[in-house]
Structure 1
């Protein structure tokens, strides 16, 4: 594949063919069942084939298709286990891999953006990509001053591809919706479309990464590689070694999982408080666990890719902490008033405060105990409760609104919890909230005492 397939008609046709392929397999499956094969065996085969086609297309198209797949990948923990198996491997592949752009095109892009003498800026440059993502790929190199660096090069045509893909994906959202219970796909795609221009702008990304690198420069727990150079659609940053989060999820010891989960929770809450920015792309491909020979308490979390951030100059909004504090204190009326004030409940909607509290308490369980064990089973239970039309939580959830100011915060929080559940981490979620979440700590400590 030379670069992104840029013709909108080609990309649209490949995405539009997905439901046709799935429908065809369903018909074939019906024939097999009529022919005597068990429904369970046929269903498993259909699930595997559907996953292979869906995520193969998303990965090969890169652009918005792959970005959408990466976002979905962190929610696989919400799938019922009998469905999750066939999809898990296909989803995980999207977190770190995509067909590479050939070296000749990379060289052309670097010459256009860094100048014809671009090679003089490097002591060495590896033509083989070290990683590939939705809108660019990363090469390992050595900068002229001897520093090991990561060179991110944006795919030609990435902007057009992103917009084309996300427009088409919104039309076939019904395909994916049933896979992730409780997740409304269309608003997710709309939010991704709104972030396109920002993610394509490597200068904005460089600013966000510099801010984090400066703030966490001497931090014992969080490491962010600094920006070395930036020019148009090329970004050069310090190289970051470490164990990819996806490997910790797949093969990590419980000690590694717990430490990774603790640090991930810390970064979720501490990042906005310390930098005024929320890292808004928390899929496993963007994190590394940096270990040494010492105890796990000294291991660090490496954070990559600041192409999408939410600007929160005052940190996370205080009403989040206020409403959580009131919910844990049993103040149902106060919680409902806060939700109305922030726009989560529209003026025309009448709700029972106790029902609202019953809806929230299972979701905020990690904030109630010193250490919470995040598991796929717990996340599946929450997703099923909200997605089951027979459940009171389903009917109440349909009446809630998600204000635009909270949309990205909501997605990032859910995504981070999804990764914690993939890790099966025992994490002190509450301690991080007490330290970093505005509005939560003071009253929570008073109630405990």
Structure 2
């Protein structure tokens, strides 16, 4: 067996062990309940142990397992704190790290995808990666734009793991089959649609030429922005992407862990402005809002700095080059408490299918908490608020759950929906207070009052 199939087989075996581990813990939990331990305490303990195994395993893997873990990590704020606390460290680690590939493999990738003369331009390359993610890792280097003129600049060299595409799809297929073993960690969350959406976007994320195109568009569009920095593209090959180096202190993961409230509010506001200004400036939506992709750039005077944005592999190319105007229009209708118009608008967009009957007042009550951030001058996103919404719509005993089963998510909104859920998760982790309504009025089509 060659090295790649051997590693893939090892990943499959470790992923397959997850539901087996959960089944074993179920048996132990049943025994403890027979011994008189409270059911709630047993359930919490089982969730903690399952989560620890899940995120420890995902954190040691690349490919689809790593990407799946990153997708789950932004939902950590929706979990009950007594369940989330023991493994929050495992989740956060997924957002910034992964095991490195050997230096010899990196150099072979550079030769294959930048040409045998790559050393004439890339005159220095740090042997150790500065960052790693689900399908590749990044090294710092120095680039010579014109051979002979001696002018060098620092660059980030993103190198895809050999066989990453095969491993990514194999892992995602395996995770889809093992959704039952993951479900106990996020009770009420339907894992299968999440994995299906990751599978649908995988081809785009593996295409570095497509990523370079998106990043170049963003770099040009935000070149004059006072608070947002997007590194420009220097060179690209099929599995190698060279961009300008971004001098940053740390990612938003650090602000989540240790930031002051002033920092949380400042960077949270910049993050939301970037999210909504991106479609206006580029016709695209940056669709990977996990904290490791957003870097804090210190200010020269020691004050609050700018926000650098990385990783444009997951980008939604929006129809008509903008966010759907119905998104802002329906939010505004919900804020105006017009339940009949809200239902009519949802039907027109395909969120409610023709033969499905709903109570307009229930629909308004269901959506009201989701539009609550736009109802105030400043809204503070918190873990408690995120958790309350998550539990409200995922409790089978509630009216919200029954109504949610009747709603439909049109295909054109899938990536927009996942991006926004991830963004809310990040803001809730930050506990950021931001002028959300003002930002929507400036940048979300259909929301501003004419």
Whole-angstrom distance in 2 between the partners of 1:277 and 1:213 = 12
Alpha carbons 2:331, 2:447 under 8 Å: kept: yes
Contact 2:47 2:185 in 1 (8 A): no
Q: Does 1:151 align with 2:157?
A: yes
User: Relative to structure 1, is the Cα distance of residues 137 and 27 closer, same or farther in structure 2, using a 3 angstrom cutoff?
Assistant: same
In structure 2, which of residues 334, 337, 349 is the aligned counterpart of residue 342 of structure 1?
Answer: 349
Q: 1:4 to 1:132 in 2, by over 3 A?
A: farther
- Mean Cα displacement is larger for which, 54-63 or 163-172? 54-63
* Alignment check: 8 A CA contact 1:271 1:277 kept: yes
Q: Which residue of 2 aligns with 1:92?
A: 92
Distance 2:443 2:216 in 1: 21
CA gap of 1:46–1:394, structure 2 versus 1, over 3 A, is closer
Q: Deviation digits for residues 281-338 of structure 1, max 9, x if unmatched? A: 1101100122315586x63211000001101143110000110111111111111111
Q: Using a 3 Å threshold, how does the CA distance of structure 1 residues 332 and 26 change in structure 2: closer, same or farther?
A: same
Q: Does 1:17 align with 2:25?
A: no
Unaligned runs of 5+ in 2: 145-150
Q: Establish whether residue 208 from structure 1 lines up as the match of residue 214 from structure 2.
A: yes
Q: Which residue of 2 aligns with 1:162?
A: 168
For residue 440 of structure 2, the aligned residue among 427, 430, 433 is: 433
Q: Distance in 2 between matches of 1:392 and 1:361?
A: 14
Distance 1:3 1:317 in 2: 46
TM-score w.r.t. the length of structure 1 is 0.93
Equivalent-residue separation in structure 1 for 2:99 and 2:372 (angstroms): 41
Q: Return the match for 2:378 from 367, 371, 381.
A: 371
Distance 1:36 1:397 in 2: 37
Q: Say which of 383, 388, 391 aligns to 2:390.
A: 383
Deviations 1:45-101 (A, max 9, x none): 544432232122222221111101001000000001111112311111110111110
CA RMSD of aligned residues (A): 2.1
1:447 corresponds to: none
Q: Are 2:176 and 1:176 aligned?
A: no
Query: CA separation in 1, counterparts of 2:216 and 2:421?
Result: 26
Structure 2 counterpart of 1:353: 360
Residue 66 (1) aligns with residue 73 (2): no
Correspondence 1:303-322 to 2 at 5 A: 303-312=309-318, 313-322=320-329
Are the counterparts in 1 of residues 50 and 185 from structure 2 also a CA contact under 8 Å?
A: no
CA contact (8 A) 1:201 1:233 kept: yes
Which residue in the other structure is 1:446 paired with?
Answer: none
Asked if 2 retains the 8 angstrom alpha-carbon contact of 1:6 and 1:157, the reply is no
- Alignment partners' CA distance in 2, 1:178 and 1:385: 18
Q: Which moved more, 1:160-169 or 1:180-189?
A: 180-189
> Partners in 2 of 1:119 and 1:265 — Cα distance?
40
Contact 1:4 1:155 in 2 (8 A): no
| 1:178 Cα deviation after fit | 4.1
- Report deviation, 1:109: 1.2
Structure-1 separation of matches of 2:187 and 2:214: 33
CA distance in 2, matches of 1:400, 1:58: 32
Distance 1:398 1:12 in 2: 33
The answer as to whether partners of 2:284 and 2:315 remain within 8 angstroms in 1 is yes
Aligned-partner SS, 1:362 = helix
Residue 118 of structure 2: aligned partner: 118
* 1:395 equivalenced with 2:402 (yes/no): yes
The residue that corresponds to 2:256 in the other structure is: 249
1-structure distance, mates of 2:24, 2:183: 19
Classify the secondary structure of the residue corresponding to 2:131.
Answer: strand
Paired with 2:134 and 2:394, the residues of 1 have a C-alpha distance of 29
User: How many Å apart are 1:126 and its aligned residue?
Assistant: 0.4
29-38 or 86-95: which moved more? 29-38
Matched, 1:262 2:252: no
Q: 8 Å contact 1:227–1:237 — kept in the other structure?
A: yes
SS in 2 for 1:150: strand
Conserved 8 A contact 2:48-2:83: no
Structure-2-length-normalised TM-score: 0.93
- 2:413 corresponding residue in structure 1: 406
Distance in 1 separating the partners of 2:308 and 2:189? 28
Query: Retained in 1: the 8 A contact 2:256–2:429?
Result: yes
In the superposition, relative to structure 1, how do residues 134 and 442 fare at CA in structure 2: closer, same or farther (>3 Å)? same
How big is each residue's C-alpha offset from its partner over 1:211-254, in whole Å with a ceiling of 9 and x where there is no partner?
00000011101110000110110000111122211000001111
